[in-house]
Structure 1
Amino acid sequence: MTEQSPFLTLNNGVEMPALGLGVYQSTPEETVPAVETALKDGYRLIDTAAAYGNEKEVGEGIRRSGVARDDIFVTTKLWLTDYGYDSALNAFDISLAKLGLDYLDLYLLHWPAPAVLDATVDSYRAAEKLLADGRVRAIGVCNHGPGHLANLVERTSVVPAVNQVELHPFFTQQEVRDFDTRHDVITQSWSPIGGVNVYSAADPHAAKNPLRHRTIVDIADGHGKTPAQIVLRWHIQHGLSPIPKSVKAHRIAENFDVFDFVLPPDEVAAIDALDTGVRGGPDPDEVGPDTFS
C-alpha cells in the first residue's frame, strides 16, 4: 500500500492531500477508532463538520494516532444555523475547541443558502477574517453550483480554495468542475463512491449503487481491485479530492490502496459515461437554515 496520498495545490499555495477520510454519519463512538486507524494507514486529510456531531472525537482520534499535527490536514464546516458574521466567528471557536486544535487547515461553508444570500456572504467574510488572522490555512465552500459561486466571488475578496460537492460516477457534476477549474478552485467529492444513492434512497431496493454497475465491476475485475478502489482512482485521475467515509478498518485501508495502478483513458471514459445527471442528496437551491430542522 502506498503510504501517502498525492497532494493538490490550492489557489493560495497550500498543499492538500488528494484523498481523505470523511466522517459524515460516523457515530462519536465509531469516529475515534476510524480516524486513528486512517491516520496510521497513511491518510493525512480528515473531513468533519459541526453538523456531524463528532468534531471532539475527530480530535481525539488525531491525538491517539501519534501523527504530528502539522502533518495532518483537518477540515470542518460552518452549519447553516450559525450563518452571519459574528455567529460564524463564534461557531469557528466552538469547532476549534471541540477538535482541540490551535488552527484549522480548511474551513468551509456547508451550503450556499441562496434564500439568505446576505447571511452566506457575511459568513464567508468571517472566514476571510479567520484566514487573514492565520487561524485557518484555507477557506472554501460546499455544494456551490456555478451561479452560487459566481455570486459569492462577486461579493467577497478571497476566491474559495475548495468547493466540496456531491460527486460520483452517477452524478459527475461536469459543469461545476469546469467552473471550478476556470476559477482555480479544487473540486472535492463527497459521497465519492455513491453511497448517498443508497442511504438517502426513498426505496433502498431501487437505489442506484455505482459499485454494482457492470462497467465498474468489470473494470475492477480486470485490475484485481474492488469497485470502490476503481471509483476512487477515477476521482484521483480527474484531479478531484475524494473523501470516502468508512468506520471499518479493512475498508479504510482498502480505500487508500489506490495509488499502485492507473486507469487507461478508455476506462476513465467508460466511467464518465455512467453519469445520470441526477443527484442523490439535497438540491442546494432548496437548502436553507430551516431545511434540516
Structure 2
Amino acid sequence: MAVRRFPGQEATAGDSKIPSIIYYDKKGMVRAVGSQALLPQVLAQAEDQCWKKVEWFKLHLRPLAEVNAPKSPNESYSRMAPLPLRKTIVDVLADFMKYLFDCTRSYVTETHANDELLWASVKEHIDFVFSHPNGWGGTQQEKMRRAAIKAGLIPDTPAGRVRIQFVTEGEASVHYCITSGLARDIMKNGPVEKTVMIVDAGGGTVDISTYVVRCGNTLTVEEIAPPECIYQGSAIVSFRAKDFLKGKIRFIHFDLTLKSLRVRKVDRFKILY
C-alpha cells in the first residue's frame, strides 16, 4: 500500500511522490513542505514573509571525500541553497521525515476502517527502510538514523534502532526491475545467464550498478562490479543549463515595453514582429 495523497494535491488526482522542498520562517519553524510548497498562495506568502527555501538537501549528506574534491569552475554544489541558520542536515531531514510520517498516519486513519485503532496497533512495530546513493556508507546512515529518532519515528533505544534498515539505490533498483518483469524477460528462452547494468539517474546522483542474473531452477543475482555514484543528477544538470542560457542571452537586450510590440492581424491569427 502506498500513500497516494499529500497536502497540496487536492486539485489533482494525487501522487505518491512529493518534491523535497521545505520552507522555514525566520524563527526556523516549518511552514510548508512538498507539494504545498509549490502552491501559488504559498509562494506569494514565502516571498512576502521572507521564508527560507531548502531543496535538494539530501546532497548536504554527501561524503567528505566528495565535498573536499577539487571542483571545476562550473561545479554547481556551491549554488545549492545553504541550510537555514542554526539548522543541521539532521534537523532538516528530521523535519522532512516527520512530515512524511504524519501524512502517512493521516492517510491510513482516513482511508481505513477502525482508523486510530488500526494505527495504534502497528505504529510501534513499523520497520523503516531508507534508500541512499551507492557511494554512501556508515556516516550517512548514522545521520539518517539520528534524524529518524529526532523525528519520532523510532525511540532512541537498541530495539528502536534495529527498526531502521538501509539499502543502496542500486540494490533497490535491481529488485524493482526483477519484480517488474526483468526476470520473466530473461527466462523466456529457458535457463540463461545475463549481465544487467542498472542506471538510476536521479535528482542528485546517477547510480550505476552491474549484476549478473542467473535464471535456472532458482533466480540468483550477483553484483560483478563496484557500484558507481556520480554526483551529476538532474539538479546539477539544471544548474548548468541555467548557466548556459544566461551566458547565451547575457548581451541580448529585451525591450518589453508596449510601444516596442507591433501586432499585425491576419484573419484569426496574430503575428508578432
- Per the normalisation by structure 1, the TM-score is 0.31
Structure having the larger proportion of residues in strand: 2
Q: Which has the larger radius of gyration?
A: 2
- Per the normalisation by structure 2, the TM-score is 0.33
